[in-house]
Amino acid sequence: MDSSIEEAKTCPITDIKVISADEVKASEAAGYTVRDFGGQKLAFSRMTDNKPLTTMKLTTSQPCLHPYE
């Protein structure tokens, strides 16, 4: 197996986005992994130029507070 693929599996996630079913092929072509999340699709990547995510909360309900206020 390609060593760059193995290295990518151990890297932290650097980007996450919620996408529609129409965006799955394009996201996968860009190196994202796509998973079902409720009625949506969740795409994540370990290969973007962003810094690693350190905190995240996913929910299907509306948040009651803005986390930065």
Summarize pLDDT for 40-53 with one digit per residue, the tens.
899 999 989 999 98
Show the domain range for 28: 3-45
Q: For residue 30, tell me if it sits in a domain.
A: yes
Q: For residue 58, tell me if it sits in a domain.
A: no
Q: For residue 19, tell me if it sits in a domain.
A: yes
Q: For residue 57, tell me if it sits in a domain.
A: no
Q: For residue 15, tell me if it sits in a domain.
A: yes
Nearest alpha carbon to residue 6 among 46, 43, 53, 52: 46
Q: For residue 53, tell me if it sits in a domain.
A: no
Domain count, the chain: 1
Q: For residue 69, tell me if it sits in a domain.
A: no
Ranges of residues in the chain whose predicted pLDDT is under 50: 1
Task: For 51, list phi and psi in degrees, rounded to 5.
Answer: -75, 155
Burial class of residue 43 (count of CB atoms within 10 Å of its CB; 0-12, 13-18, 19+): buried
Q: For residue 14, tell me if it sits in a domain.
A: yes
Write down the pTM of the prediction: 0.67
